[in-house]
C-alpha cells in the first residue's frame, strides 16, 4: 500500500471508531466549540462597534477641526474661519453654494431603555448643507427638521437605545424644549447614534452665538483632497487640522475598539489554552485506548508516518467540527444583536450591532484547526513510537 492509501485506511478506521469513544470525542469538540463561540462573540462586539464608526466615512468627504484638537468636543472654529474654509478650492458646489456644513457637537443626558440609567447621548447641530455633504441620510419616519425651529430628528440607533426619543415626543434641554419630528438612518454609520438639529438654533442654546466646532465638507472628488488640505494648512489666517472623514472615524474608534479587542483576545486565549489541555487529554486517551490496535497495524507493516497523520487527522476533524459548530452558534446567537456602549474618545454613546463577519468566522475556524493540530501532535508521536511488542501485550 502506498503512503497516501495507508493514511486513508487508518484515518477511516480511526474515524469510524469515534462513536465508541463518544464521551471523549464530544468533550474535545465541545471544548473547542466553546472557544470558537466566545472568540467570535466578543470580537463581534469590536467589529460591530468599528463598523458603526466607519460605515459612513467616504474618501471624498473631509472634516476640519481646530489644530491640536483631538475630537470635535475640544475643537472650536470662529465664523471667519468657517467662511475661509468654505471658500477653499476643491469643495463641491451646488445651487445653494458650497457643500460644507459647520457643526456643533454636544452631549445630553438621556436614560438608556435597557437599564433606565443615564447615558451621554450626542446632540449635533448641523449646517443646511449637512444632508448633501453626508449623502446617506434617509428619513424612515416623519420629516427633516425645519431650519430655525426647535426641532430635532433622531438616528435610528439612538431611538432604539434611549428612552423618550419617539417621533412626536419632546425633549427638554436646559431651558429649551425641542420637538422630535423624524427618525433617520445613515447606512449603519455613526450618525445613527446621534440626534440632529439646526446648528443655528443650537448655538444660542449653548451660549455659542457664532462659531462651531467642526466643518464637514464634500469635495469634488477624492483626488481633490490634497489640494484642499494644502490650501487650508498654508493659510496664515487659519490654524486647522484637516482629515478625510473615513480616517477621522477610524482614528476616533481606535481606543475603544482596541480595548474590546484586547480583552476579547485575552479571554479567548485563556479559553483556548484550557481547550488545548482538554484536546490533549482526549487525544492521549484515544491513543492509549487503541494501543494494541495501532501496534497491530504497525506490526502488519503500516508505517509510522501514516499512523501519525491519521491521529492528527482525527484530532483535526474533531476540532474543525467544534470550530464550525461554535462559530455557527455564535452567528445564530449574536449577529445583528443591538447594543450600545461608550466611545471613550468622544465620551458619548455609540449604538451598534454585533457583527459576525466572514473573516471572523474564518479566524475562529482556523484557530480551532490549530488547536486540533497541536492537541493531536504529541499523542500522534507517542502512538508512532511505542515499542510494538510491548504494545501488543498491553491490555486495552
Partner 1 sequence: MKYLGLIWSNLKRRKLRTTLTVLSIFVAFLLFAFLFAIKEAFTAGVRIADADRLIVRHKVSLIQTLPVSYTQRIANIPGIEAVTHMTWFGGIYQEPKNFFASMPVLPENFFDLYPEYSLPAEATVLWAKTRNGAIIGRVLADRFKWKVGDRIPLTSPIWGEPKGATAWEFEVCGIFDTTKKGADTSGLYFRYDFFDEARERGKGEVGWFTVRAHDAKDAAAVAEKIDAEFANSPYETKAEPEGAFAAGFAQQVGDIGAIMVAVLSAVFFTILLVAGNTMSQSVRERTEELGVLKAMGFSNGLILVLVLAESCVIAVLGGVAGLALAWGILQAGNPAPALLPVFYVPNQALTTGAVLVIALGIVVGALPALAAMRLRTAEALRRNG
Do residues 350 and 340 touch, judged by C-beta distance below 8 A? Answer: yes
In the complex, minimum distance from the CB of residue 90 to partner 1, in angstroms, rounded to a whole number: 27
Give yes or no for a contact between 134 and 115, defined as CB atoms under 8 angstroms apart. Answer: no
Radius of gyration of the chain, Cα coordinates, nearest whole angstrom: 30
Stretch that binds partner 1, among 53-61, 62-70, 137-145, 162-170 (CB under 8 A): 62-70
| CB contact at 8 A, 294 and 391 | yes
As measured in angstroms, the least distance from the Cβ of 174 to partner 1 is: 5
Strand partners, 105: 124
| 114 binds partner 1, rule: CB under 8 A | yes
Select the residue interacting with partner 1 from 263, 299, 388, 390 (CB under 8 A). Answer: 263
CB of 269 to partner 1, least distance (A): 10
Euclidean distance between CA atoms 213 and 199, whole angstroms: 10
8 A C-beta contact, residue 244 and residue 57: yes
Q: Which of 57, 101, 99, 97 is nearest to 77 (CA)?
A: 101
Q: Does 202 bind partner 1 (CB under 8 A)?
A: no
Contact letters for partner 1, residues 4-33 (x by CB under 8 A): -------------------xx-xxx-xx--
Hunting for cell 490496535 — which residue is that?
A: 293
Taking CB under 8 A as the criterion, the residue among 9, 13, 120, 200 binding partner 1 is: 120
Grid coordinates representing 362? 474564518
Of 203 and 281, the one with the shorter C-beta distance to partner 1 is: 281
Minimum distance, C-beta of residue 46 to partner 1, in the bound complex (Å): 12
Site string for partner 1, 345-374 (x = CB under 8 A): --x-x-------------------------
Q: Does 74 bind partner 1 (CB under 8 A)?
A: yes
Which lies closer to partner 1 via its Cβ, residue 70 or residue 146? 70
Q: What DSSP letter does each residue of 98-161 carry, written as one string?
A: E-EEEEEEEEEEEEBTTT--EEEEEEEEE-TTHHHHH---EEEEE-PPPTTSSEEEEEHHHHHH
**Contact flag: residue 271 with partner 1 (CB under 8 A):** yes
Of 168-187, binders to partner 1 (CB under 8 A) are: 173-175
- What backbone torsions phi and psi does residue 301 show, to the nearest 5 degrees? 120, 0
Report which of 334, 369, 346, 347 is spatially closest to residue 47, judged by C-alpha positions: 334
Residues that bind partner 1 (CB under 8 A): 23-24, 26-28, 30-31, 34-35, 37-38, 41-42, 68-71, 73-74, 106-109, 112, 114-115, 117-120, 173-175, 255, 259, 262-263, 266-267, 270-271, 273-275, 277-278, 280-282, 284-285, 288, 339-342, 347, 349
Amino acid at each position: 500500500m502506498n503512503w497516501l492509501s495507508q493514511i486513508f485506511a487508518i484515518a477511516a478506521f480511526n474515524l469510524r471508531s469515534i462513536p465508541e469513544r463518544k464521551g471523549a470525542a464530544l468533550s474535545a469538540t465541545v471544548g473547542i466549540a466553546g472557544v470558537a463561540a466566545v472568540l467570535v462573540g466578543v470580537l463581534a462586539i469590536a467589529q460591530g462597534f468599528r463598523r458603526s464608526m466607519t460605515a459612513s466615512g467616504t474618501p471624498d468627504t473631509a472634516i476640519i477641526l481646530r489644530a491640536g484638537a483631538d475630537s470635535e468636543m475640544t475643537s472650536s472654529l470662529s465664523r471667519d474661519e468657517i467662511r475661509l474654509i468654505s471658500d477653499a478650492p476643491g469643495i463641491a458646489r451646488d445651487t445653494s453654494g458650497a457643500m460644507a456644513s459647520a457643526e456643533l457637537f454636544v452631549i445630553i443626558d438621556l436614560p438608556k431603555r435597557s437599564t433606565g440609567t443615564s447615558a451621554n447621548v450626542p446632540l449635533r447641530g448641523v449646517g443646511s448643507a449637512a444632508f448633501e455633504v453626508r449623502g446617506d441620510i434617509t428619513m424612515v419616519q416623519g420629516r427633516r427638521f425645519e431650519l430655525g425651529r426647535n426641532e430635532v430628528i433622531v438616528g435610528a440607533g439612538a431611538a432604539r437605545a434611549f428612552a423618550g426619543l419617539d417621533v412626536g415626543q419632546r425633549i427638554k434641554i436646559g431651558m429649551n424644549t425641542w420637538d422630535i419630528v423624524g427618525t433617520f438612518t445613515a447606512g449603519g454609520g455613526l450618525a445613527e447614534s446621534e440626534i440632529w438639529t439646526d446648528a443655528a438654533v443650537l448655538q444660542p442654546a449653548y451660549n455659542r452665538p457664532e462659531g462651531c466646532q467642526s466643518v464637514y465638507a464634500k469635495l469634488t472628488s477624492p483626488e481633490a483632497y490634497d489640494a484642499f488640505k494644502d490650501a487650508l494648512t498654508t493659510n496664515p489666517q487659519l490654524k486647522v487640522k484637516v482629515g478625510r472623514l473615513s480616517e477621522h472615524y477610524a482614528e476616533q474608534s481606535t481606543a475603544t475598539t482596541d480595548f474590546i479587542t484586547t480583552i476579547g483576545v485575552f479571554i479567548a486565549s485563556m479559553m483556548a489554552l484550557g481547550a488545548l489541555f482538554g484536546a490533549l487529554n482526549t487525544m492521549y486517551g484515544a491513543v492509549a485506548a487503541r494501543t494494541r490496535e495501532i501496534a497491530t497495524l504497525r506490526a502488519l507493516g503500516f508505517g509510522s508516518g501514516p499512523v501519525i497523520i491519521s491521529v492528527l487527522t482525527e484530532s483535526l476533524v474533531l476540532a474543525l467540527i467544534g470550530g464550525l459548530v461554535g462559530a455557527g452558534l455564535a452567528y445564530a446567537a449574536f449577529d445583528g444583536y443591538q447594543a450600545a456602549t461608550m466611545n471613550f474618545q468622544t465620551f458619548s454613546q455609540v449604538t451598534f450591532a454585533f457583527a459576525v463577519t466572514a473573516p471572523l468566522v474564518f479566524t475562529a475556524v482556523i484557530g480551532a484547526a490549530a488547536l486540533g493540530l497541536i492537541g493531536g501532535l504529541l499523542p500522534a508521536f507517542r502512538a508512532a513510537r511505542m515499542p510494538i511488542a510491548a504494545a501488543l501485550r498491553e491490555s486495552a
